[in-house]
Structure 1
């Protein structure tokens, strides 16, 4: 099976397909938030002033937040300026990366799957994580 570029539908499908996941709607805009055990691991962010187009100043309307396990993982994904993954000062010290939905095609489905699985593992209880790893991981 060949790897293909990722889509927003892939993000939803993979996040929703992890065990014990609840999808809630954000209180302001109904944006999707995926949680395990009440802890968010992927969410679709509403436009905010810290993530804007450098040319127009317009707030990005399509930012997805994905948890990562460590600051080193975050840095590995965001240090290359050409990477679709980024962060903002608002997320300094927060174990997550941002990606615009419009740039997901720059990432393979397999990489998005791995990121979301790692995000889930970073937020799931130890017991749930061990069960999933022993069965599927």
Structure 2
């Protein structure tokens, strides 16, 4: 399944993406973060239970997309009360395929990158956001 190196490689292949550290965790951003490492905090564990593998937070377009992902595969996608009302879904990185991860990373990047940059990228990669 996917690894942090996969996330790094996929994110850094996108125009304008930069890796940084925010709150002590790896974050990939264009103007603002689109995917980031999000280990559970003690309060999160109290609310949803322990997660042993790596967790990736992914920005999504809106709550409808978040709900669709949560319904798609409960073994891969989940959320915590901290993200209630926020367009972010959590991904159990060690349970997602690299191709599915690639789709999520590009979609998340497209939510925060400048519109002209996204349009140019999509013109060169037309099947990316199908």
Specify every segment of 5 or more residues in structure 2 that has no aligned partner in the other structure, as ranges.
Answer: none
* Deviation per residue, 1:71-118 (Å, 9 max, x gap): 1111111135733111111101111111233xx2x3221110000000
Q: Does 1:40 align with 2:16?
A: no
Contact 2:75 2:92 in 1 (8 A): no
- Is 2:8 the partner of 1:12? yes
Structure 1 unpaired stretches of 5+: none
* TM superposition score normalised by structure 1: 0.78
Cα RMSD of the aligned pairs, angstroms, is: 2.4
Confirm or deny: 8 A CA contact 1:86 1:97 kept in the other structure: yes
Higher helix share: 2
**2:35 and 2:58 in contact (8 A); partners too:** yes
Give a deviation string over 1:43-93, Cα, whole Å, max 9, x none.
Answer: 1124413432889x5576732111111211111111357331111111011
Partner of 2:118: 129
TM-score by length of 2: 0.82
Residues matched between the structures, number: 126
